[in-house]
C-alpha cells in the first residue's frame, strides 16, 4: 500500500473514532450535590441512606412510595380506599380547570390524590398508616385526603390499631373551598373517637407541614414527631410579621424551634425513624397490657 493511500485510510479511521467519541454522553442523575453542605454523592448511596445526606443529616424530599418502603416491613403493606378520587363540585378554574389539574397530577405521580392509606406491619406490629405526598398539588388537603384519612382512622378504631400519619402538606386545597376546610373537623373528630378507646396516634411532621394540616391532625398526636430541619407552620412568616408588627427569629418555622418551645415531643432522623417508632409502639403495648 502506498503512503498516500495509507494516510487517507488512517484519517478515515480517526474521523470515525472522533465522531463516536463526540456522541458519548455522561448519564444524567448519577450524582447529586447536597444543597446544605455541598457534599457530592452517588445518587444510589443517597437513596440507600433514606435520602438523608450522610455528612450533614440534610433531609432531601422523599415521597410516599419510598416512605412505605422505609416504614413498613417488607411485603406487609396493604393499601385501602385506593380508588377514591376528587371531583370538581365547585367547577373551579384559575389558570386551569381544577379537573384538568387532577388529571395532570395523576399522570405525573401515579396517585389519585395526595395521600396513601393502608395497614402494614412495623417490626411485626400491625399499624394503620397514612402517608401524604407533596408531589400531588403540594400535598393539599381536599375532600379525598380528608375522607381517606377518616376511613383509615375509623378502621384503626374498629380494629384497635395504632395510627401513624406521615404529614407533608401546604394546607387546605383552595380549589375545593369550604369543602376542604371541613376535612379538618372531620379527621379531628375521628381521632377523638380513636383516642377514647385509649389507642395510640403518632403524627410524623415532615417538610413542609403547614396550614390546615398543622391546625388539625398534625398536632393532635399522643406523641408528635418531626424530622430534623422540617418547616412546620400554620401561617407564613410575612403574614405573621405584618400582623404582630415584629420580626420573627430566623429559625421560627423549624422543627428545632418548635421542639425548644414544647410543641414537639421528638425530632428523629429519617434513618432512625422506623426503629424509634417501633420502640414507642412496644412501650405503648406493654403499658396498655398492664
By DSSP bridging, strand 31-33 and strand 40-42 are antiparallel
Long-range contacts of 19-23 (CB under 8 A, 24+ apart): none
User: How far is it, in rounded angstroms, from Cα 74 to Cα 70?
Assistant: 9
Co-location of 35 and 154 in the same domain: no
Annotated binding site: 34, 37, 53, 56
Are 52 and 176 found together in one domain?
no
Does one domain contain both 181 and 96? yes
Residues annotated in the binding site for Zn(2+), as ranges? 34, 37, 53, 56
Residue 275 lies in a domain: yes
Domain count across the chain: 2
Domain match, 152 and 27 both: no
Whether this model's pTM surpasses 0.85: yes
Do 111 and 33 have their domain in common?
no
Is 13 within the bounds of a domain?
A: no
Residues 141 and 36 in one domain: no
Tell me the residue range of the domain where 268 lies. 61-288
Write down the number of H helices and E strands in the chain.
10, 9
DSSP state of 248: P
* Tens-binned pLDDT, residue by residue, of the chain (290 aa): 554 554 445 444 444 444 444 444 546 678 999 999 999 999 999 999 999 999 999 999 999 999 999 999 999 999 999 999 999 989 999 889 999 999 999 999 999 999 999 999 999 999 999 999 999 999 999 999 999 999 999 999 999 999 999 999 999 999 999 999 999 999 999 999 999 999 999 999 999 999 999 999 999 999 999 999 999 999 888 989 999 999 999 899 999 999 999 999 999 999 999 999 999 999 998 877 66
Shared-domain flag, residues 42 and 94: no
Give dist(CA 222, CA 184) in Å, integer.
18
Amino acid at each position: 500500500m502506498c503512503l498516500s493511500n495509507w494516510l487517507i485510510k488512517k484519517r478515515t479511521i480517526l474521523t470515525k473514532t472522533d465522531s463516536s467519541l463526540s456522541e458519548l454522553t455522561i448519564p444524567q442523575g448519577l450524582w447529586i450535590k447536597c444543597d446544605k453542605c455541598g457534599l457530592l454523592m452517588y445518587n444510589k448511596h443517597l437513596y440507600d441512606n433514606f435520602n438523608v445526606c450522610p455528612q450533614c443529616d440534610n433531609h432531601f424530599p422523599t415521597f410516599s412510595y419510598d416512605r412505605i418502603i422505609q416504614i413498613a416491613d417488607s411485603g406487609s403493606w396493604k393499601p385501602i380506599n385506593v380508588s377514591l378520587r376528587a371531583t370538581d363540585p365547585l367547577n373551579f378554574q384559575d389558570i386551569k380547570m381544577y379537573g384538568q389539574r387532577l388529571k395532570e397530577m395523576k399522570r405525573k405521580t401515579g396517585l389519585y390524590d395526595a395521600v396513601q392509606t393502608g395497614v402494614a406491619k412495623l417490626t411485626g406490629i400491625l399499624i394503620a398508616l397514612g402517608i401524604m405526598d407533596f408531589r400531588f398539588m403540594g400535598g393539599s388537603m381536599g375532600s379525598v385526603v380528608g375522607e381517606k384519612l377518616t376511613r383509615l382512622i375509623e378502621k384503626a378504631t374498629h380494629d384497635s390499631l395504632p395510627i401513624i400519619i406521615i404529614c407533608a402538606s401546604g394546607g387546605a386545597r383552595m380549589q375545593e373551598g369550604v369543602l376542604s376546610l371541613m376535612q379538618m373537623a372531620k379527621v379531628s373528630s375521628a381521632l377523638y373517637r380513636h383516642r377514647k378507646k385509649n389507642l395510640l396516634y403518632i403524627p410524623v411532621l415532615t417538610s413542609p407541614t403547614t396550614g390546615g394540616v398543622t391546625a388539625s391532625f398534625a398536632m393532635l398526636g399522643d406523641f408528635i414527631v418531626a424530622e430534623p430541619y422540617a418547616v412546620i407552620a400554620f401561617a407564613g412568616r410575612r403574614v405573621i410579621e405584618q400582623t404582630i408588627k415584629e420580626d420573627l427569629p430566623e429559625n421560627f418555622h423549624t422543627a428545632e424551634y418548635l421542639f425548644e418551645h414544647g410543641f414537639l415531643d421528638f425530632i428523629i432522623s429519617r434513618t432512625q425513624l422506623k426503629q424509634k417508632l417501633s420502640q414507642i409502639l412496644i412501650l405503648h403495648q406493654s403499658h396498655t397490657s398492664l
